[in-house]
Structure 1
Amino acid sequence: MENPLLQPFDAAPFSSIRTEHFKPAFDAALAEARAEIDAIADHPAPPDFENTIAALDYAGSRLDRISSIFFNLNAAETNAEIQALAQEVSPLLSEFSNDITLNESLFDRVRQVYEARETMDLDAESRTLVEKKFLHFRRNGALLDAAGKKRLREIDSELSRLKLTFGEHILEETNSYELHITREEDLEGLPESQREAARIRAGSGGKEGWIITLDYPSYLPFMKYAANRNLRKELYLAFGSKGFHGDARDNREIVLRIANLRFERARLLGYASHADFVLEQRMAKSPETVREFLEELLEKALPAAKRELGELAAYAEKRDGLTQLEPWDKAYYSEKLKQEKFALDDEILKPYFQLENVIDGVFEIAGRLYGLSFQPEDSLPTYHEEVRTYRVVDADGKLVALFYADFHPRPGKRGGAWMTSYKPQYRKGGTVERPHIAIVCNFTRPTSSQPALLTFDEVTTLFHEFGHALHGMLADTTYPGLSGTSVYWDFVELPSQLMENWCYEPDALALFARHYKTGEILPDTLIEKIKASANFQEGIATVRQLSFGFLDMAWHGGNPSDITDVKAHESEAFAPTRLFPEHPETCMSTAFAHIFQGGYASGYYSYKWAEVLDADAFASFRESGIFDRETARRFRDHILSRGGTEDPMELYVRFRGREPEIDALLKRAGLVPAVN
């Protein structure tokens, strides 16, 4: 049987792919990519932009596509066979990447073009590509001696394996835990929809009663609503101790090894730390700038957080006689206090946020802003029956992108939410290739009695990931290496976080927030409560987010070689931001997938950094109207379509007319008084 991955295809041929197709596909694609690289390195003509830099960016396109399909499956629909193959393939890909950057003949050609770039007639995108390629080689060992190059290969190969193993342990920990409840009184406070979902989970496993898991749609409602404090504690400790049990899935040694290997790699390349290495290609530029940024926000947020925590503790004591507020109490009493202050909770709002309506709403908003329409395309192959597929077209009916959406948790799917790409946008040979973009989420499932009804947090998450998707879908660049979300990581969250703002606007909510039974539009009274409660405990939330940024920098901003106790190191990093008592059973680092599995190492601060950008950018929409097409055109032309073709600050200034100001974020968060 022919291998579908080695036949010509546009949309990923998911329905034809079997796991055994991947290894031969990788072998063939790697051989093809090596031949393409060798042809560039051995080109008989003198190096120039087209035969060296552009050719290098287009090389390996088949390998890139196969890799995107495989590793997205490993995240969204994995199994033991795929995980084992990932462990086998990842070092091969790491070795190939090293073979490129450590190829002396190839680097010599790249360097010649780089050194002659001032004499070439290059547009801004081409100039950026030259500089990016040269830096990529330099930052990945091209200037090292033979011994250094050998060690770099060893480090990169080991890191690729360790990061995969880290993630596999977390997925196994999540899937293996169940809180099995057999007494209905232990469900006191839990909404009926959550009880039904828990009952279905138990039944699907052949058990009586109710099952609560560590998947967010199960875990968070229980922590928020369940009156049984002992069970909340049990669940919290299980969630907070993933990878921290001293067993075969313990991630402590992996964390230490990853941190030390990253540091060794950075020093090998001439950088003071992994953070110095990473931040060279970020808007922040240096660890000092990141720390100053985090500390400035902490100075504003910590007093507010302490006031909010004092209010919460007093409320819990008055309500239930609680003398010591613990972390497993926070969500429960915050929800009760929020209901008391604003007469608002998720169970009131969820009937107005049926998943299908929210999807239609975000599509409608994209249409009003950018002239897009989303047409269901059921003929596209998918990797699971729940994946929804669309053709995205512009006002003239021209294809903009293919869009995939996968919304609900499954055993083979990692937690969280993310946007990804199966094919980038680029131009080549007079043809414009349009992107294939996906978002993957873990939202509340439908039950036998009601459709999938989202919490307001899930609504904002959908808008967030859709903002990333727009960044990919609306890309308009020549080279794939600069397309879509191929931007600085402290800039990439701007489009996603900007989209969340529409969730709080009455004119936007009116498009999709309708009661799933009656069709009633979300009442103005509830919209006002959403807006009024938007800053509820914003100080606590900000300090929590900052704590993750401080922890990231603690692991990557210095020399980790003296760290022997992961928990103790983490505790020291959290000390300036600690609001609740610490518990020795839990450890954040051993499950901090963003920095030890994903791409946010030395970059977790970027969420808050991008909030400054998005608050300032949305102020521009507010000034002109939230559906103003001219403001949207400027954002599309200068931000969404340009990818990484120019310095992000230059792109932002072109959109906004000035650099961003932190005041917009502080005012929106209620951390400083708003001035009318």
Structure 2
Amino acid sequence: MNQELTRWTGPEGLPRFDRIADTDFAPAFEQELAAALAAVEAIAANPAPASFENTVAAMELVDEGLNRLLAVFYTLAAVDSNEARQALQRDFAPKLADYGSRTGMDPRLHARVSAIAAEADALPPEDARLTRLMLRDLTRAGAGLGEAARARLAEIRSRMAVLTTQFTQNVLADERDFVMPVADDQLAGLPDWLRAAMRAAAAERDMAGQVVTLNRSLIVPFLEHASERALRETAFRAFTARGSGAGAGGEATNNLPLVAEILSLRHERAALLGYADFAAWKLETQMAGSAERVEDLLTAVWRPARARAAEDEAKLTQMLHADGVNGALEAWDWRYYAARLKRETHDLDEAAVKPYLTLEAMLGAVFDVAHRLFRLDFAPLQAPLWAPDVRAWRVTRDGRLMAIFVGDFFARPGKRSGAWCSALQMQHKMGDGQRPIVVNVCNFTPPEAPGAPAFLSWDDARTLFHEFGHASHHILSEVTWPSISGTSVAQDFVELPSQLYEHWLEQPAVLDAHARHHATGEVLPASLRDRLLAAGKADAGFSTVEYLESALVDLDFHRGAPPADPLARQGEVLAGLGAPEAIPMRHATPHFAHVFAGDSYAAGYYSYMWSEVMDADAFAAFEEAGDIFDPNVARRLEETILSRGGTAPAEELWMAFRGRMPGVEPLLRGRGLA
């Protein structure tokens, strides 16, 4: 076994990715999985009376080696997929599902943890919380059920692992395989920075000229600027066809049969556990608590968002007709005319803003905000990572190491789309303790040439701030047990730190300090800055509607009996909402990875908006203090939320910070929908 997979020897304890080969993973996985299973068996079969130390605390250590190996493997599988890694994913998935079943449904563990939980009030608060959560998870996994039910749940878990892995790989295949060449005489309307990005995408694929790919940071600006309507339609249809069988991979990458089976198995699992449906099972442990509360929030926002979208649609249709195009505004028209309307209404051309929004400038802003709020300092760290353009920093406070932060910012073939935050290593205080190794992954368009600046769109800059908000949740974590540290909180609470951090991007003080022209160093002119900020809410109807469509479809899929034909059900939900034809779901069912690449956001895509209700009110706390960097409010935010992980229920953490629950009004004002 390659020891580098579990005993990392790189700078500051990072893995040495340059010493790891794909052929190392399988034998190491088998060895670490066997060790973890043996450790769990020793705890479950321990003849000594159950205690916190010999059961609950011991369970925190059983799969440390396996987790470290998998952290390396799944990071590489997401950021640089290849056939070998995809084959390993398919091999590992059912074995990990079996491990999860044997551990999570062991009646002996359930009995031991139940005995400890009965006297948990005598334990220190964090130990008591860990015990109760462990018992809850064992119960919700089925450890308290009879043998036949447990066996069926294990079968479901194993099959789900296969299905969700295949779903992810199908979407990735469609994203990887679609490339649309754009001829020199088809570039009308495209700004220079976008043409350069398209040339860079072509060169990366050893192609001449310029191309459009399904990388969101490339295709969205293309849809906003391309004058040739037929090209917009081709690109849009490819983007929305991912995973449908009509994408680049054809029927081989059709996810719809997988989706139907996933929904059916989720429903069966919930029923075996005694719940009415999957939504009831999932939401039981969330801050929202019930599907009814989720629906109330989403519909309260849907009404004003739909009304705003209808107003905008009328304006954009007039523009379409003025261009001599008859008929209705189509989905591939909306972004193009909305961008034009924004430019005309706010006298704003994104091409004029981009030179000020380089990756370096915006990273400087991200780090400066972290320093002013939490006294964090960032120093570059040279380390052998998985690609030459991946970077690392030591994060310190008053000289103390707080974390290692890794940034993988640019799109590349084989990289999963979207943006996310993960941790190679969680913070904890067991033994000598350890600080987190946090990874932010984005898919920004890379620079046209080595050494050239990388320009971000305003949405890219917002994504950078968003993902670092998640990272701050890890960096500032100060808890004992790894399973409740960092972002290990309720799903509808986890987006609060990330969405809250976005607010600082919109502050004139931050932009004035960091949005500087890449060539001249000139500060973003105040008039341009103000027009940029004013334009931020210009298409709020579109962005809110496309999100809510996805959230409401997700919720409907998991309430009541599962649909036999998910795509037909999707259509019924959207028709019932009166959803605009020109605004499709942000994530249509065949490529809705949040929901079907795993269970994390299943019946939980609403959580972004649930958290947004809180993030709007949380930022208001700084505004009420009269200083967006108020040290007392920042300290309270850290002490009550960011450092606490999952050591208390989400509502309790929120109340400790704010003292009251928020309403929806700040969210509507923030989106310009009030």
Same fold (TM over 0.5): yes
Assess if the C-alpha contact under 8 Å between 2:375 and 2:397 holds in 1.
yes
SS of the residue corresponding to residue 425 of structure 1 reads coil
1:145 matched to which residue of 2? Answer: 146
Which whole-Å CA distance do the structure 2 matches of 1:7 and 1:325 have between them?
57
Which whole-Å CA distance do the structure 1 matches of 2:666 and 2:8 have between them?
49
Assess if the C-alpha contact under 8 Å between 2:402 and 2:436 holds in 1.
yes
Residue 253 (1) aligns with residue 257 (2): yes
SS of the residue corresponding to residue 261 of structure 2 reads helix
2:242 matched to which residue of 1? Answer: 242
Which whole-Å CA distance do the structure 1 matches of 2:169 and 2:514 have between them?
37
Residue 523 of structure 1 aligns with an amino acid whose one-letter code is P
Change (3 A) 1:2 1:68: closer
Assess if the C-alpha contact under 8 Å between 1:241 and 1:586 holds in 2.
no
- Tell me which of 537, 546, 549 is aligned to 1:547: 549
Which whole-Å CA distance do the structure 2 matches of 1:139 and 1:283 have between them?
17
2:422 matched to which residue of 1? Answer: 420
1:338 matched to which residue of 2? Answer: 342
Which whole-Å CA distance do the structure 2 matches of 1:391 and 1:206 have between them?
36
1:328 matched to which residue of 2? Answer: 332
Deviation, 1:301, is: 2.1
SS of the residue corresponding to residue 661 of structure 1 reads coil
2:389 matched to which residue of 1? Answer: 386
1:669 matched to which residue of 2? Answer: 671
1:111 matched to which residue of 2? Answer: 114
Deviation, 1:265, is: 0.8
5+ residue gaps, structure 1, are: none
Deviation, 1:564, is: 3.3
Q: What root-mean-square deviation, in Å, do the aligned CA atoms of Structure 1 and Structure 2 show? A: 1.9
- Deviations for 1:328-376, whole angstroms, at most 9, x for unmatched residues? 0000000000000001132111100111111111111100110000110
SS of the residue corresponding to residue 403 of structure 1 reads strand
1:202 matched to which residue of 2? Answer: 202
Assess if the C-alpha contact under 8 Å between 1:58 and 1:479 holds in 2.
no
Change (3 A) 1:480 1:317: same
Deviation, 1:58, is: 2.8
2:370 matched to which residue of 1? Answer: 366
1:637 matched to which residue of 2? Answer: 639
Which whole-Å CA distance do the structure 1 matches of 2:434 and 2:22 have between them?
27
Which whole-Å CA distance do the structure 2 matches of 1:7 and 1:212 have between them?
41
Deviation, 1:7, is: 4.0
Pairwise mapping of residues 347-362 of structure 1 onto structure 2 (< 5 A)? 347-362=351-366
Assess if the C-alpha contact under 8 Å between 2:550 and 2:585 holds in 1.
no
Worse-matched range after superposition: 362-371 or 623-632: 623-632
Assess if the C-alpha contact under 8 Å between 2:6 and 2:68 holds in 1.
no
Residue 142 of structure 1 aligns with an amino acid whose one-letter code is A
Deviation, 1:205, is: 3.8
Change (3 A) 1:175 1:421: same
Which whole-Å CA distance do the structure 2 matches of 1:434 and 1:204 have between them?
36
Deviation, 1:516, is: 0.3
Residue 72 (1) aligns with residue 65 (2): no
Pairwise mapping of residues 424-443 of structure 1 onto structure 2 (< 5 A)? 424-429=426-431, 431-443=432-444
Pairwise mapping of residues 162-241 of structure 1 onto structure 2 (< 5 A)? 162-182=163-183, 184-241=184-241
Identity across matched positions, percent? 39
- Deviations for 1:105-145, whole angstroms, at most 9, x for unmatched residues? 22210111112223x2x233222111110010010011221
Deviation, 1:27, is: 1.4
Which whole-Å CA distance do the structure 2 matches of 1:167 and 1:432 have between them?
34
Which whole-Å CA distance do the structure 1 matches of 2:405 and 2:488 have between them?
18
Worse-matched range after superposition: 325-334 or 208-217: 208-217
Assess if the C-alpha contact under 8 Å between 2:379 and 2:394 holds in 1.
yes
- Tell me which of 463, 466, 469 is aligned to 2:468: 466
Which whole-Å CA distance do the structure 2 matches of 1:161 and 1:27 have between them?
18
Deviation, 1:94, is: 1.0
Pairwise mapping of residues 495-574 of structure 1 onto structure 2 (< 5 A)? 495-560=497-562, 563-574=563-574
Change (3 A) 1:422 1:207: closer
SS of the residue corresponding to residue 166 of structure 1 reads helix
Assess if the C-alpha contact under 8 Å between 1:255 and 1:590 holds in 2.
yes
Pairwise mapping of residues 270-285 of structure 1 onto structure 2 (< 5 A)? 270-285=274-289
Which whole-Å CA distance do the structure 2 matches of 1:303 and 1:480 have between them?
45
Which whole-Å CA distance do the structure 2 matches of 1:8 and 1:503 have between them?
35
Which whole-Å CA distance do the structure 1 matches of 2:465 and 2:156 have between them?
38
Assess if the C-alpha contact under 8 Å between 1:169 and 1:243 holds in 2.
yes
Assess if the C-alpha contact under 8 Å between 2:199 and 2:448 holds in 1.
no
Residue 331 of structure 1 aligns with an amino acid whose one-letter code is R
SS of the residue corresponding to residue 454 of structure 2 reads coil
Which whole-Å CA distance do the structure 1 matches of 2:326 and 2:498 have between them?
39
Which whole-Å CA distance do the structure 2 matches of 1:579 and 1:148 have between them?
41
Change (3 A) 1:375 1:207: closer
Deviation, 1:424, is: 0.4
Worse-matched range after superposition: 608-617 or 30-39: 30-39
- Tell me which of 87, 95, 98 is aligned to 2:98: 95
Change (3 A) 1:151 1:391: same
Deviation, 1:59, is: 2.3
Deviation, 1:37, is: 1.4
Deviation, 1:203, is: 4.1
Deviation, 1:401, is: 0.3
Worse-matched range after superposition: 601-610 or 306-315: 306-315
Residue 163 of structure 2 aligns with an amino acid whose one-letter code is L
Change (3 A) 1:453 1:276: same
Which whole-Å CA distance do the structure 2 matches of 1:587 and 1:279 have between them?
21
Which whole-Å CA distance do the structure 2 matches of 1:606 and 1:281 have between them?
13
Deviation, 1:319, is: 4.5
Which whole-Å CA distance do the structure 1 matches of 2:602 and 2:111 have between them?
30
1:59 matched to which residue of 2? Answer: 62
Assess if the C-alpha contact under 8 Å between 1:544 and 1:577 holds in 2.
no
Assess if the C-alpha contact under 8 Å between 2:546 and 2:585 holds in 1.
no
- Tell me which of 291, 298, 301 is aligned to 1:297: 301
- Deviations for 1:542-597, whole angstroms, at most 9, x for unmatched residues? 1211111111012112211xx33332111112224454437999991111111000
Change (3 A) 1:578 1:417: farther
2:27 matched to which residue of 1? Answer: 24
Assess if the C-alpha contact under 8 Å between 1:504 and 1:530 holds in 2.
no
Which whole-Å CA distance do the structure 2 matches of 1:205 and 1:139 have between them?
47
5+ residue gaps, structure 2, are: none
| TM-score, reference length from structure 2 | 0.95
Which whole-Å CA distance do the structure 2 matches of 1:38 and 1:609 have between them?
40
Deviation, 1:320, is: 4.3
Which whole-Å CA distance do the structure 1 matches of 2:456 and 2:641 have between them?
30
Assess if the C-alpha contact under 8 Å between 2:516 and 2:524 holds in 1.
yes
* Number of equivalences: 664
Which whole-Å CA distance do the structure 2 matches of 1:583 and 1:376 have between them?
42
SS of the residue corresponding to residue 603 of structure 2 reads coil
Residue 616 (1) aligns with residue 607 (2): no
Which whole-Å CA distance do the structure 2 matches of 1:308 and 1:221 have between them?
19
Which whole-Å CA distance do the structure 1 matches of 2:358 and 2:660 have between them?
39
- Deviations for 1:624-648, whole angstroms, at most 9, x for unmatched residues? 2111111111111111000111011
Which whole-Å CA distance do the structure 1 matches of 2:200 and 2:516 have between them?
27
Assess if the C-alpha contact under 8 Å between 2:189 and 2:227 holds in 1.
yes
| TM-score, reference length from structure 1 | 0.95
Change (3 A) 1:580 1:230: farther
Residue 547 of structure 2 aligns with an amino acid whose one-letter code is Q
2:482 matched to which residue of 1? Answer: 480
Assess if the C-alpha contact under 8 Å between 2:550 and 2:586 holds in 1.
no
Which whole-Å CA distance do the structure 2 matches of 1:320 and 1:633 have between them?
58
Which whole-Å CA distance do the structure 1 matches of 2:507 and 2:2 have between them?
52
Worse-matched range after superposition: 70-79 or 56-65: 56-65
Worse-matched range after superposition: 186-195 or 400-409: 186-195
Residue 272 of structure 1 aligns with an amino acid whose one-letter code is A
Deviation, 1:662, is: 1.9
Residue 658 of structure 1 aligns with an amino acid whose one-letter code is R
Which whole-Å CA distance do the structure 1 matches of 2:656 and 2:105 have between them?
37
Deviation, 1:88, is: 0.5
- Tell me which of 45, 49, 52 is aligned to 2:48: 45
Assess if the C-alpha contact under 8 Å between 1:58 and 1:480 holds in 2.
no
